[in-house]
Structure 1
Amino acid sequence: MEFKKIKNKILKYIGNLILSVEHVGSTSVEGLAAKPIIDIDVVIEDMSVLPDIIKGLEKAGYEYEGNLGIEGREAFRRIKKDGLMKHHLYVCPKDGKGYLEHIALRDYLRENKDARREYEELKLKLARKYRNDVDTYCIKKTDFINSILSKTIYKKQD
């Protein structure tokens, strides 16, 4: 429900410039423990539309933050206070590494109950241990995430 509200807002301002709006991250996986923050990937054909996207999202109440050190993913921060649930918004090309990894992880967790349970246990353990250190929390999830990605988009071809 909250994702749809945000998606509709995005589509109103830049719908003609994009391919899709994807709900990614833990809140996109039913039954998975998650912080109350929605992760959203706005998918574009290529980076040539980024200047127009920036203008449109600024009108919609977002501030452009650049790639925050991650190539192929442009971040936006919500600066308008209008009751939308807290969310992270990223603009990604359809063939970008960040987008492809987000979708692969999301879809794998949606389809694999055991992996979902294992990931949830890891997240809860790390959240307790690194409650005030979000960077370490994220780093400590990397091996698990990479193990899933190695089974999906990075699986070895025979």
Structure 2
Amino acid sequence: MAERTRVIEVVPYDAEWKIQFERIKEMIVGYIGDLVLAVEHVGSTSVEGLSAKPIIDLDVVMDSYDVLPTIIERLEQAGFEHQGNLGIEGREAFRRTYDDGFMKYHLYVCPKDGKGYLEHIAFRDYLRANEEAKKEYEALKQRLAEAYRYDIDSYVDRKTAFVRDILNKTIYKTDDSKKARESG
């Protein structure tokens, strides 16, 4: 089972997160770089200026599930435990089995057309491009971290409406003019 956050702590943005991501990415590419298309920094630590839980989220992008068995094998040899999808379709979670000296991180392997990956990128890119949304999300996260300091499930659940709203503005947006024509 994935390591669960015991205490929710949202801290101010730290430029070191970019550096840490690059170091972790370099390690991962060393193990499976020939099998994957990209390693993306996702999650709040990937948005410059956004307060976040100090945990790097990485989406390792594969072309198809055909390469997953080899990825699992190589990552296991490198000291990672495959955890399955943890209930989220379109991603495979991995956990380091020993302290590797990096800051805390979550490693996910996703197909290039996977829902989870596409949502992560859309949400990240929207926050990077929209200062007002970034500030609103930051304030929400800080309020929730105070209110649910020891309850990660409630913290995550109460962010869902905000995240869904952003996704509805991006990858799930509908063509309002098409709707109007169809209803008219």
- The interval holding the TM-score normalised by the smaller chain is over 0.9
Secondary structure of 1:53's aligned partner = helix
Q: 1:132 aligns to what?
A: 150
Shift of 1:40: 0.5
- Say yes or no: does 1:77 pair with 2:95: yes
Please state whether the residue corresponding to 1:115 is helix, strand or coil. Answer: helix
Q: Using the alignment, how far apart are the partners of 1:11 and 1:80 within structure 2?
A: 19
CA distance in 2, matches of 1:76, 1:22: 15
For normalisation by structure 1, the TM-score amounts to 0.98
Give the aligned partner of residue 62 of structure 1.
80
Q: Matches of residues 105-120 of structure 1 in structure 2 within 5 Å? A: 105-120=123-138
Does structure 2 conserve the Cα–Cα contact (< 8 Å) formed by 1:24 and 1:106? yes
Aligned to 1:48: 66
Gapped regions of structure 2 (runs ≥ 5):
1-18, 179-184
What residue in structure 2 maps to residue 147 of structure 1? 165
Give, in whole Å, the separation in 2 of the partners of 1:92 and 1:126: 28
Q: Does 1:23 align with 2:78?
A: no
Identity among equivalent pairs (%): 65
* Aligned position for 2:3: none
Instruction: Tell me the TM-score normalised to structure 2 length.
Output: 0.84
Q: 1:33 aligns with which of 32, 51, 60?
A: 51
Q: Which residue of structure 2 aligns with residue 14 of structure 1?
A: 32
Tell me the distance in 2 between the aligned counterparts of 1:86 and 1:59: 20
CA distance in 1, matches of 2:153, 2:133: 23
Question: d(CA) in 2 for partners of 1:29 and 1:59?
Answer: 32
The letter of the residue matching 1:25 is G
Larger Cα Rg: Structure 1 or Structure 2?
2
1:92 aligns with 2:123: no
- SS of equivalent to 1:69: coil
Shifted more, 72-81 versus 128-137: the winner is 72-81
Please say if residues 13 and 59 of structure 1, whose CA atoms lie closer than 8 Å, have aligned partners that are also in contact.
Answer: no
Distance 1:73 1:67 in 2: 5
2-structure distance, mates of 1:77, 1:69: 15
Higher relative contact order (CA 8 A, sep 6+): 2
How much has 1:82 moved relative to structure 2? 2.1
- Give me the CA root mean square deviation: 0.7
